[in-house]
Each structure stands twice: as C-alpha cells, then as structure tokens.
Amino acid sequence: MITMEPIQYKPQDFKSDQEVRWCPGCGDYAMLNSLQKAMAEIGVAPEKTVVVSGIGCSSRLPYYVNSYGMHTIHGRASAIASGIKVANPELTVWQITGDGDCLAIGGNHFIHAVRRNIDLNILLFNNEIYGLTKGQYSPTSRLGFVSKSSPYGTVEEPFRPAQLTFGARGTFFARTIDVDLKTSQDVLIQAARHKGCSVVEALVNCVIFNEGTHKSITEKEFRADKTIVLKHGEPMIFGKNNDKGLIIDGFNLRSVTIGENGITEKDIMVHDAKCSDPTLHFKLGNMKDDLPVALGVIRNIDETSYDQAVADQITDVQAKRPIRKLEEFLHTLETWEIQ
C-alpha cells in the first residue's frame, strides 16, 4: 500500500504570477504575505482554495493568490462566497473585503453570512477610508473625520466590526494589525480551522489617503502598552513589561498593574474565547482609549455551520424518502391514466 504524505505547502505555492500593484508602503502587502504563510500552514491545496472579493484596493488580492479566485462586484462578495461554500462545502473559501465593501454597500450580505454561520473566512481590511475612489470617508471613519467627501468633518458615528459581528450572532471574531505578522498569521490559521463564519479584522494603513490612522496603537514604542493579544485560556496580561492586566470592575473592564494596590496575577481575567454568551466578548472587542485594543481571537465558539446543516438536511430527507429521480417523483403526484 502506498501512503501519501500530506503535502507540505510553502507560501510560494500560493503566489500567482501577477505583479502586486498596491501603493508602496500599503498595509495590504503585509496581510497578503501573512495570508500566504497561513495558507501554507493550513495545508489546503490551491485548487481546493477559493478566494473571493468585492471591489476596493484590498479586493484586488485574489489576483495575487494562486488558487481559484473571483474578483466580483461591489459589496457582494459575502453572497457569492456563500453560494460557493454551500454548493461545495469541501472547498476552503476566503472572502477578502474592505471597510467600504463589507460594511457599507455589502453590509446586508455581511451580517447575514455571519448570522447564518456559513463556513467562510472573511478577512476585513479596515483602513477607515475609501482608497480606490481616492479618499472619501468610510463607515469606519471616526466622527469628525475630514476627507474629500467630508471637508467639514463627518457627522456620523462609525461601525465597529466587532460589535456588528457579535450583534449578528458571530461565532468567530479576531483582530490583527498589518505590522504584526505573527498575530496575523496566527489568527488567519485559527479562522480557517474554525467551522463557521470567521471574521478577521485587519487594521491596515492607507499610506496615501489615511496615513497613520492606526498609528496610536501600531507604533513600536507604544504598541505593547496600547494593545493586548488575547489567547484562549491565558491571562489577559499585556504591556512592555508584561505587568498590566485586565480585571472586571462592576460591569466594566479595567486595566490594572500587577503588583500595585494588592493586585496579583491571580486577579487577572483568563480569556475564554469559547464562552457562548458574547457579553464579555463585546466588551473586549470595544476596548480603546484607557483600555488596550484587543488583538488575537476574541471569540471562537462551535456551532453547526449553515453549509453543513444544508448538506445534513438533504441526507436526513433522503434517508426517509427513497426517490432520487425527477420522473419517479412526478409519478408520486396525483395522477390519472389516459388509455
């Protein structure tokens, strides 16, 4: 008997022959590299991998990946990816999208893909700007943001992708930043392994139209103090000196320093990404300002995916009804004979 060793893929195997054409310095380059590394480690063959996107800078990504791919129309990638996955659950389906594509024109499809828990890996590039149309505010741009279409500042509050995902009953949400290759690769692998709809928000920099938008958390000198990489089953400790942690104070989260005011490591919360109640995940996903921005996998719970449920239902019905051909079925209807 010949036993086949599982093929060890290299990131190179997932690189297409197309020249990457983002602006020099764009955060999307780092995410593409992280994705190709993650794909190699996940080990699904290029021909069983499908990468789907909508419209926008990030949505050019499928052209750069050696796999089956579809660069579709604005906002509709979630729906098209849903059709691919439901039609053939054997495929690993990635959706590449941006804050405008996913949360403005595609918002409806996004929340329903999340609600249905279709086994998609949605990689949402959030640069808080419309880049391909050259600099208009997006649904994640902060209140008051000045752009070409908001010369006096926006007067609308932004979406937070984590809130939207949890509000739509999401089963997996992770966040990363373009410059943190290790976390990016790690959350993309976990997203792919999660059976159900996985949303990964990547905070990326738009070097041309929104330079430095995530700077307050991404700059090396304060990244460790301004972010926390959450890991399931591990205490929520962060900081340059690994001496800061998160505790629950009443209904709120609070950042504390270990060793101050009698706080010890035991007082620090342990991250439970698998808790089905999303309340704490909401709070973690919302952290900003005085609290570190949460990176890593915030929520990762097991629920039956839609594509699996569709396939299971067919199996169940077929077990009860032996008919497999249309003609046989038609003869089970109310019929009569003309002699």
Partner 1 sequence: MSDTAKITTLDQVVIRFSGDSGDGMQLTGSLFSNLSAIYGNEISTFPDYPAEIRAPQGTLSGVSGYQVHVGSKKIHTPGDLADVLIAMNPAALKVNRNAIKPNAIVIADEDSFDQNNLNKAGFVTDNPFEELKLNGVQLIMAPITSMVKASLVDSDMDTKNILRSKNMFALGLLCWLFNTPIDRAMHLLENKFKKKPVILKANLKVLTDGYNYGNNTHGSVSTYHVNPTDMPKGTYTDVKGNQATAWGLIAAAEKSGLPLFLGSYPITPATEILQELAARKELGVKTFQAEDEIAGVCTAIGASFAGSLAATSTSGPGLALKSEAIGLAVMAELPLVIVDVQRGGPSTGLPTKTEQADLLQALYGRNGESPCVVVAASTPANCFDYAFIASKLALEHMTPAILLTDGFLANGSSAWRIPSLDNYPIIKPPFVHANMQPTWKPYMRNPENGVRYWAIPGTEGFAHRVGGLEKDNKTSAISTNPANHHLMVKLRQEKIDAIANVIPLLEVQGNKEADLLVVGWGGTFGHLYTAVEELNNTGEKVAFVHFNYISPLPANTIGLLKKYKKIVVCELNNGQFAGYLRSKVAGIDPIQYNKIEGQPFTVSELTDFFKTILYK
The footprint of partner 1 (CB under 8 A) covers: 16, 18, 45-48, 50, 52, 55, 62-63, 66-73, 76, 79-88, 90-91, 108-109, 112, 310, 313-314, 317-318, 320-327, 329-331, 333-339
In whole angstroms, how close is the CB of 290 to partner 1 at the nearest point? Answer: 38
Q: Which is nearer to partner 1, 85 or 223 (CB)?
A: 85
Q: Which is nearer to partner 1, 42 or 275 (CB)?
A: 42
In whole angstroms, how close is the CB of 133 to partner 1 at the nearest point? Answer: 16
- Residue 257 in 3-state DSSP? strand
In whole angstroms, how close is the CB of 149 to partner 1 at the nearest point? Answer: 22
Q: Which is nearer to partner 1, 21 or 148 (CB)?
A: 21
Nearest Cα neighbor of 175 from 130, 143, 140, 210 is 140
| Burial class of residue 208 (count of CB atoms within 10 Å of its CB; 0-12, 13-18, 19+) | middle
In whole angstroms, how close is the CB of 107 to partner 1 at the nearest point? Answer: 10
Nearest Cα neighbor of 84 from 307, 322, 313 is 307
In whole angstroms, how close is the CB of 16 to partner 1 at the nearest point? Answer: 7
Q: Which is nearer to partner 1, 289 or 334 (CB)?
A: 334
In whole angstroms, how close is the CB of 96 to partner 1 at the nearest point? Answer: 12
Measured between alpha carbons, how far is 129 from 127 in angstroms, rounded to an integer? 6
Q: Which is nearer to partner 1, 62 or 285 (CB)?
A: 62
Q: Which is nearer to partner 1, 261 or 339 (CB)?
A: 339
Q: Which is nearer to partner 1, 123 or 174 (CB)?
A: 123
Q: Please name the residues in contact with 292: beta carbons below 8 A apart, sequence gap of 6 or more.
A: 225, 226, 227, 228, 238, 244, 246, 255
Bridge partners of 314, per DSSP, are none
- Straight-line distance from the first to the last Cα atom of the chain, in angstroms, rounded to the nearest whole number: 60
Nearest Cα neighbor of 26 from 210, 285, 284 is 210
In whole angstroms, how close is the CB of 111 to partner 1 at the nearest point? Answer: 8
- Residue 102 in 3-state DSSP? helix
Query: Can you list the alpha helix ranges (DSSP code H) found in 88-198?
Result: 99-100, 107-116, 161-167, 181-193
